[in-house]
Amino acid sequence: MTAWWTDNFFGVWLGVGHAIIVACLGMACAWFIYHGQKRQLVTRIVTGASAFGVLCLAACLLALLQGQPFRVWYPLAMMGGMSVLMWVPNLIALDWLYRRHDSRRLAAEELRRS
C-alpha cells in the first residue's frame, strides 16, 4: 500500500492552513454573534465546519483501515477531531446566543418606548 502523500510537509501545511482558516472563521462568527447579525451565514459556516470535521474523521478511519502510515492519518484525525470538538457545541449554542441577543434588543426597544 502506497501512502496518500509521501512526507510530513503536506500534513504540516494541511494543519497550519486548517488552523488559520478555523481562527478566521471563528473570529468572524464570534463578531457576528456578539452583534446579533448574519444568523443564517453563521449557522451555515458552523454547520459546514462541523461537516468538514466529520469528513476528516471518516477519511482518517479509511486511512487506518487501509494501513496508511502515521503521517497520513494523524493530520486527518487532528483536523477532524478538533473541528468536531470546537464547532458542534457552538452549533448547539448558536440558537441560544441569538435568542438572548434578540431578547436584549426587544427589552431595549421596550425601555425606549416607556
Q: Is 28 exposed, middle or buried (0-12, 13-18, 19+ CB in 10 A)?
A: middle
pLDDT one-digit tens code per residue, 34-93: 888 999 999 999 999 999 999 999 999 999 999 998 888 888 999 999 999 998 998 888
Q: What is the pLDDT of residue 63?
A: 94
What is the rounded distance in angstroms from the CA atom of residue 44 to the CA atom of residue 39? 9
- Contact 79/18 with Cβ under 8 angstroms? yes
